[in-house]
Structure 1
């Protein structure tokens, strides 16, 4: 079972690292997932993430208060809005368009209901 948690943690950490350099790919959710999986099968990785000067406080705030940095809320909201605009401007199935039009604002409302860190 340890290998499964380590695989999830490694994959999430890799995607989080890509999110640092690729616009549109979020970093924080993947680092939260990596820390969560690391706590179950790779405690050293979890501790390293928690001690990271930039991302450690974000992970700790999420765990303790379910708080999200205001900058992350703005970035996520802007990316969701750009996704909605894109899906309506580019060829896409109508069902997908309407699903995202209903779903993404719900995600944004939930996100903005979290405390600021």
Structure 2
């Protein structure tokens, strides 16, 4: 192992904890996505801590969407549905609170692109645990 090896491992570990924290925040904050941050955490932990990686990937609540993405590049039907509803809600809230029209236009464009990305991902096979 090179001299930078342990330092790099700690940087991956720190990135894993930061992205895990952001994913947990996404559970309660409507504008913060949960699953992408958890997938990033698994990626970072795979490079820094086998124990944390295995815990996250095998967690009963956090593990299934990570495994669906890792194994099939898939998003569950329930996950797609919740994502689209959350995006629509954010856009509706922006209208309701009177956000400037040019900001709503940018937001709308980004949400359309992200919605298309999400909707065009396959759903996991029935035996994979995705819904």
Provide the aligned length of Structure 1 versus Structure 2.
116
**What aligned pairs does 1:42-81 form with structure 2 within 5 A after superposition?**
42-81=49-88
Compute the TM-score of the two structures, normalised by the length of structure 2: 0.78
Q: 1: distance between equivalents of 2:99 and 2:35?
A: 28
**What is aligned with 1:95?**
102
**What aligned pairs does 1:22-33 form with structure 2 within 5 A after superposition?**
22=28, 24=30, 25-33=32-40
Q: 2: distance between equivalents of 1:93 and 1:7?
A: 37
Structure number with larger C-alpha Rg: 2
More helix by share: 1
Q: 1: distance between equivalents of 2:99 and 2:11?
A: 35
Pairwise CA RMSD of aligned residues? 1.7
Which residue among 21, 36, 41 is the counterpart of 1:14? 21
Q: Structure 1 unaligned runs (5+)?
A: none
Q: Structure 2 unaligned runs (5+)?
A: 1-7, 125-131
Offset of residue 115 of structure 1: 0.9
Offset of residue 58 of structure 1: 1.9
